[in-house]
Amino acid sequence: MLDIRFVRENPDLVKENIKKKYQDFKLPLVDEVIALDEKNRAAITEASDLRAQKNKLSKANGPLFGKLKKAAEEEKAAIQAEIDANMAAVKANDERLEELEKLEEEYAAEIYKRMLLIPNIIDPSVPLGPDDSCNVEVERFGDPVVPDYQIPYHTEIMERFNGIDMDAAGRTSGNGFYYLMGDIARLHSAVLAYARDFMINKGFIYCIPPFMIHGNVVEGVMSQNDMDAMMYKIEGEDLYLIGTSEHSMIGKFIDQILTEDQLPQTLTSYSPCFRKEKGAHGIEERGVYRIHQFEKQEMIVVCKPEDSTAWYEKMWRLSVELFRSMEIPVRQLECCSGDLADLKVKSCDIEAWSPRQQKYFEVCSCSNLSDAQARRLKIRVKGEDGKTYLPHTLNNTVVAPPRMLIAFLENHLQADGSVTIPEVLWPYMGGTKVLIPKK
């Protein structure tokens, strides 16, 4: 969310940014916000003047009461009239102040509602385009290989190891759920454990957060559209199941004032994630690429504004390093303006190579949200000069199996149907170096 003063002072820039995000339908919001802000500030000014007048009138009556006691009989009527007039003015002021305070609340609510919909100012380096078809490949890491033998669909690979049961999950839960079994389930847990230790060794603090959060935290960390499309609400409770641990990890700092020596906050968190997955892509009938429930290791950074660009670069490179350590080719894809969620100023995807599809697909997403989440959640930092400012927040996927398992199985599948385990995972697989299919 932008600063109202920024919108007031830079309306054309805000409108141009909306156009860059191909959201022209939001252009009227800028003028509406400015008009409401003008009315709100006028109401605040009038209320402030009335309070000053009230204090002045109240102070004036003090001496008048003393004067009334000492005055001659013929002077009392005039003094009383002056007192009555002051009291009437005070009463009128109180009535008008009550009206103005209600107006201030109404204006503030209407402004806030619109400000939530106005997108953050994107970084100048972001490529322009209406949707993800305009995302730009920046760099590749590792050589994408297409073997001379067929790579089956990922669930077929898993089924050879008796590693997945989607039929049973369909009976218990419906589409978008799964049972992972045996070696595949163990591989899933091994990747998460390795990712956890990888991030701890990079200096991040490991955390297991709440898996449900209040509505005000949801509103603070994501846009309304994303919230409606993603979040499951607990019926009868002010609680939502998290779609990613970023939500509760950034929410950890709501209404807090940090000191500069507490920055940067570098956290890596494990959680299950729950998503409606509404939209054009829908839920796949088969496969575990897009599902309602999965597990994830995430990285979160809260830092000084001047440090966020460097952290953004470092964070996506950590994802690359992790995937390359597991011998999976990846590329970095810069997200275009139309593919950025409203709170993001810059974002990129790390995509893994799929030998079966002979293309890359998303496995990580790294985002810099500047001070948007901090402003919504009232997260502040107290500087050395005693003044407070808003920190920047960033997040990135470390690894999100079972989607990551697709890339892993396809890239490590051998001609005989076995799956090799890279050396970094041997300790997490009990020393197992090769998975042998059961059928």
Q: Over the stretch 129-185, which tens digit does the pLDDT of each residue have?
A: 999 999 999 999 999 999 999 999 999 999 999 999 999 999 999 888 999 999 999
4-115 and 132-435 share one CATH topology? no
pTM of the model: 0.88
Instruction: Assess whether pLDDT exceeds 50 at residue 280.
Output: no
3-state DSSP assignment of residue 1: coil
Task: Assess contact for 119 and 21: CB atoms under 8 A.
Answer: yes
Q: Please give the pLDDT value at position 290.
A: 82
CATH class of the structural domain 4-115: mainly alpha
For 336, counting Cβ atoms within 10 Å of its Cβ (0-12 exposed, 13-18 middle, 19+ buried), the class is buried
3-state SS, residue 207: strand
Say how far apart CA 393 and CA 395 lie, in whole Å.
Answer: 7
pLDDT at 61: 55
Strand 164-165 to 205-207 pairing: unpaired
pLDDT value of position 433 = 97
- The pLDDT assigned to 403 comes to 87
Query: Which whole number is the average pLDDT over 354-380?
Result: 96
The bridge status of strand 359-368 relative to strand 392-399 is antiparallel
Q: CA 335, CA 123: separation in Å to the nearest integer? A: 11
Domain boundaries 132-435, corresponding CATH code: 3.30.930.10
Q: How do residues 214-272 score in pLDDT, each as one tens digit?
A: 999 999 998 877 777 789 999 999 999 999 999 999 999 999 999 999 999 999 999 99
Q: Please give the Cα distance from 279 to 338 (Å, whole number).
A: 16
pLDDT surpasses 70 at 82: no
Residue 95: its pLDDT value, please?
79
Question: What pLDDT is stored for residue 196 in this prediction?
Answer: 98
Closest CA to 265 of 252, 282, 276: 252
Whole-angstrom Cα distance, residue 424 to residue 63?
85
Asked if the model's pLDDT at residue 47 lies above 90, the reply is no
To 10 degrees, the CA torsion angle through 180, 244, 337, 223?
A: 130
| For helices 11-20 and 27-70, angle between their N-to-C axes, nearest 10 degrees | 150
Tokens of 411: 């890239």
Residue 76 has pLDDT above 90, yes or no: no
- Cα–Cα distance for residue pair 292/276, rounded to 1 Å: 6
pLDDT tens digits along 94-106: 777 888 889 999 9
Q: Which of 51-60, 332-341, 399-408 has the lowest mean pLDDT?
A: 51-60
Burial of 422 (0-12, 13-18, 19+ CB in 10 A): middle
pLDDT above 60 (res 124) = yes
The residue extents of the domains of the chain are 4-115, 132-435
Choice between 318 and 223, residue whose per-residue pLDDT is larger: 318
